[in-house]
Amino acid sequence: MAANDQPPTVERYDSPLFLIVCRDGAGSAAARAEKLDGHLQHVEVNWRRYVLAGPLRQPGSQPLIGSYFLVRAADETDARALMSGDPYVSSGMYATMEVLEATASIGLFLGGKIWESADAIRDKAAG
């Protein structure tokens, strides 16, 4: 790797993050169309809490199969409360909703990586 390809070290994100993966249920295409305006209004009003979000598809396929949301929240209860205000969630459109705590560690949107060296995070790497 060339020296200019090294990611810069950036500050760790200051609030807890939760990755929420929602899988569509039966009849989701109709529900998406019906609830779209309310869904967009909800995410726009709360846009500062979403680090990244969008629809999910099978690779190379056009139909939507769900959605993902990387959200800032104080805890899991707060993350679920945010999601409960989304008409896609409150209407029962999703068959499943998995909530996972996440750490933004490296990437383009983050602007680099959060660790100085492998030794600095070795104790956390084992879980």
- Cα–Cα–Cα angle for 113, 116, 120, nearest 5°? 115
At residue 50, φ and ψ (nearest 5 deg) are -95, 120
**pLDDT, position 66:** 97
Q: 């709360």: which residue's tokens?
A: 46
Model-level pTM greater than 0.75? yes
In this predicted structure, the answer to whether residue 64 has a pLDDT above a threshold of 90 is yes
**pLDDT, position 122:** 84
Distances (CA, A) of 35 to 29, 30, 40, 93, 113: 10, 9, 9, 9, 37
Query: What is the spatial distance between Cα 125 and Cα 3, in angstroms, rounded to a whole number?
Result: 25
Least confidently predicted of 47-56, 57-66, 79-88, 107-116: 107-116
> Can you tell me whether residue 99 is helix, strand or coil?
strand
**pLDDT, position 2:** 56
Query: Across the chain, which distance is largest between two alpha carbons, in Å?
Result: 51
How far apart, in Å, do the first and last CA atoms of the chain sit? 28
The predicted-structure confidence for 1-32, as pLDDT tens digits, reads as follows 555 788 999 988 888 999 999 999 998 999 99
The predicted-structure confidence for 78-115, as pLDDT tens digits, reads as follows 999 999 999 999 999 999 999 999 999 999 988 999 99
- Cα–Cα–Cα angle for 99, 101, 107, nearest 5°? 115
> Can you tell me whether residue 122 is helix, strand or coil?
helix
Task: Read off the pLDDT of each residue in 37-53 and give the average, rounded to a whole number.
Answer: 97
